[in-house]
Structure 1
């Protein structure tokens, strides 16, 4: 267990994020609860998206993957950051111009179908649960290292999951999107601050990235084995050779590396908690500018994460002799749990206070992402299901209450799944359990939602039946493939199965196109197309035309009335 200074500092930093919710004004309407009144500025929204997106997989998982597999772990950073390029080019502006509450809401209105809306709600909930579980695992790992003891007879791991989930659920239910936006903005700034402090400290102590990669690559890469010792990693690109830190192949073959990047890049555009944030921007131009900010911040964030994962690999073995507490966390100088890389670096250089800063960053990353996911769940169930199907005459108060109840139910389900999983169960098969589990969420989103999403935005011929068929195809293929991949022995087949978007997304797109060509598109497709892709002048002209038509109808009706009276 660590000293009280680490716990106190971590508690203070986390408390700052709670104050952000309490201090912000709240609204009682659904637009306020789900979309923060659609008045979120560019910088604030960019920080909030980063707080949403830079989850435990980004803060703990990327550094852990680099620590465990070297260059292969850096593909996570590449894929996570690259995901915002298609969002910038193809999604952000038209999505905001069309304007709705959520992805299911957008698809339902764009394609004129409640069935599309309900199927999308089901897929969104699967993505949200898949993304929530690794956040819960990350909070359990962090609590276990920071506190080392549980509450009310629970294990430290279980306590971390339950405490973090309970706190965030309360904040979301209390503050809605407006409070959560400011919470996530503050959380991201604190998270980035912790990463910058640790990077500056490591560099100040003489660490050089290039030299470290060269030194680490002189010997075979080893990691803890099931028997308690160390095992040499084999190069997946060159069977029979040992893997080294600075060369690809320690975890993935050529196909696996490509499939991982495609899965992460495609999945970003289908993540409900990230895409819902674009509906909070005031205009389409603001949504596009926000994405540019996010891309720049992502480049900085992931570069630091990759560097620090490398630093941990070089520094920790030499630090064992001077820091006896490292003995129980390592096997011959190699960390048993790769996700401990950043917290251990923080404690090596900053003592208990340094551990408190990094642990607070990890908990903040978890809390921020959980908040966004719970709001996305509330929007899809509370707005798309409750308001439209269960109680169409619901008052604003009832609709908001339904959203708050949804956050509670979803949080409980994620906590239960997180408690059922232990990092040790998957440690031998994955470079980072947190990063790998988040990849599953990206796989479902990129396979089932993103292809249909992009076609609905950019192909006018998309139909409701085509979208339903495409979403179901992508979801079923993705789930079936990575379920089969978990039981595969390894190698090329396993790499392809556990990152299924490379196969599932084209299938989903093809099915959507084939079915759409045999069915009828919605009647108002030209109007939707003008809203999403027309220039400001086009949209202004279209509004004027509607006003002229309405005025002519009013005049004709008035003339008929005068004739009837005359």
Structure 2
């Protein structure tokens, strides 16, 4: 990819974001403008803004990567994400707007008349918001590093600066316009290249991707591994190796690897002949992606189906309780507008999710080495230049790069707004616009420091844990608070800490490497012993607990 084109696209996205933030500054006058855009955002604009902030890099890049690695069976992930808005439409959208709250802690206090419940809600908003902001900043660093070779922290700093400027300038007014623009940019950034990619695919004879067997290298391909990995082969394979494999050092020698597992050290270079199968790979450091993204794997069919439904349930219940999603419904003029907004969101999000699988399938054909290097998420970025080529391919690649950066900016803007609103109301003692802008700075600096200090935090774990905490805390609070008069403050506060703490703490400490030392308690209330991380039982429990 031409770095000049890509950097220009990213710069244009950043510039437009700042200009739209300045527009919000010109029309924002009151505290209500900053918090909820004075509750005057129409359904179409609000739906575009919600879709823009919800469709993060996990949707823009990650869904394509999952399809490349494991095939169409992974499409239940976006189904779970989209279904969350159906639950919002039916159960939450209109009543939440009619509550008159500014933030989720406002709703909690108004419904239960308890300061204790409000304080706990504040803690969960901060926890979910910062957990979700961390992978946005890390992903921006990785993307900018791929485009320019810059250090990992540069992308996070750029996103933090731009988001701070946009949110602090005009609050909810600013980011409404910013996120609506960024939704249409992300949709365009995937839709336009798809036509060129499909034309190139048809011109190449329309080769079919195989998912019931390993992907195949179509031409001679050399791959340099960035970290220690374990390769799995179903049959012997001859490769040219430069580096250390299975404890032996080779200097550009042909090596026949037998069926089974092989340890390959970082920086080793493997050259594959045309029509060679792509080996399955897993990092040596941990259980790898399969421990959270393959609920359909395992030896017991009844448990595979249970795990799939469990994770779908977790994703759409988690969507319902995400603070940056809920806060947008406060901007609707009334409950009817909130319902119409949610209906439009379902259409916009559903239309977007039609596109990433196309990139995943084409990546399986034209960029199979990404499955070997662990960079499957880069399929969206590399396919235009690889399949179309020339200046047209570079321009299309730049468009996709701009869309990817818009994904980081839009989601980070919504999260920062939600966290800053809670900090301003419940943590900082001062009031007014100046205090709100201080809250914005604090809201973004905490996860930025985390992204710089902890570069190896698994992004999937951070996102999964954010959804799990949201599903375990705000989802029951909203549903029961709206539809069950018998909900009491002790009942509202007893569930989330008892569910989130024992499950979230071990994952933060061990970073998803398996169940806690003493076993775990699954959703059925049964205590299990220690399991091997790759066992079906461990995968089921990981699915129930949010990934």
Shorter-chain TM range is: 0.7 to 0.9
1:254-403 equivalences in 2 (<5 Å): 254-317=305-368, 330=369, 334-348=372-386, 349=388, 350-386=392-428, 390=429, 398-403=431-436
> Structure 1 length normalisation: TM-score?
0.75
List runs of 5+ in structure 1 lacking aligned partners: 235-241, 318-329, 427-432, 504-566
What do residues 268-303 of structure 1 show as CA deviations (whole Å, max 9, x unaligned)? Answer: 111000000000000100000101111111111112
Asked whether the equivalents of residues 295 and 543 of structure 2 are also in contact (C-alpha less than 8 Å), the reply is no
Selected match of 1:462 from 487, 493, 499: 487
Q: CA deviation at 1:335?
A: 4.8
Asked whether the equivalents of residues 2 and 147 of structure 1 are also in contact (C-alpha less than 8 Å), the reply is no
Check if 1:134 corresponds to 2:135: yes
Check if 1:188 corresponds to 2:186: no
Alignment match, 2:447: 414
Alignment match, 1:220: 214
Higher fraction of helix: 1
What do residues 372-431 of structure 1 show as CA deviations (whole Å, max 9, x unaligned)? Answer: 001101111112344xxx4xxx5xxx33322221221221111122223446x75xxxxx
Q: CA deviation at 1:246?
A: 12
Aligned length: 456
Asked whether the equivalents of residues 84 and 319 of structure 2 are also in contact (C-alpha less than 8 Å), the reply is yes
1:430-445 equivalences in 2 (<5 Å): 433=459, 435-445=460-470
Alignment match, 2:248: none
Alignment match, 2:233: none
Determine the C-alpha separation between the residues in 2 that align with 1:462 and 1:232.
Answer: 50
Q: CA deviation at 1:94?
A: 0.6
List runs of 5+ in structure 2 lacking aligned partners: 217-222, 231-263, 271-277, 283-289, 515-532
- Largest Rg, 1 or 2: 1
Determine the C-alpha separation between the residues in 2 that align with 1:404 and 1:87.
Answer: 30
Asked whether the equivalents of residues 186 and 403 of structure 2 are also in contact (C-alpha less than 8 Å), the reply is yes
Asked whether the equivalents of residues 167 and 417 of structure 2 are also in contact (C-alpha less than 8 Å), the reply is yes
Alignment match, 1:491: 535
Determine the C-alpha separation between the residues in 2 that align with 1:221 and 1:491.
Answer: 25
What do residues 151-187 of structure 1 show as CA deviations (whole Å, max 9, x unaligned)? Answer: xxxx1x2111111112111211112100110011111
- CA root-mean-square deviation: 3.0
Asked whether the equivalents of residues 18 and 165 of structure 2 are also in contact (C-alpha less than 8 Å), the reply is no
Check if 1:206 corresponds to 2:201: yes
Question: Which deviates further from its counterpart, 189-198 or 12-21?
Answer: 12-21
What do residues 1-43 of structure 1 show as CA deviations (whole Å, max 9, x unaligned)? Answer: 8431221133123322222222233324221111011100110
Determine the C-alpha separation between the residues in 2 that align with 1:37 and 1:205.
Answer: 48
Q: CA deviation at 1:49?
A: 0.2
Determine the C-alpha separation between the residues in 1 that align with 2:31 and 2:62.
Answer: 35
1:242-257 equivalences in 2 (<5 Å): 248-249=296-297, 253-257=304-308
What do residues 519-543 of structure 1 show as CA deviations (whole Å, max 9, x unaligned)? Answer: xxxxxxxxxxxxxxxxxxxxxxxxx
What do residues 484-540 of structure 1 show as CA deviations (whole Å, max 9, x unaligned)? Answer: 67122223343334444579xxxxxxxxxxxxxxxxxxxxxxxxxxxxxxxxxxxxx
SS in 1 for 2:170: helix
Determine the C-alpha separation between the residues in 2 that align with 1:403 and 1:246.
Answer: 43
1:58-73 equivalences in 2 (<5 Å): 58-73=59-74
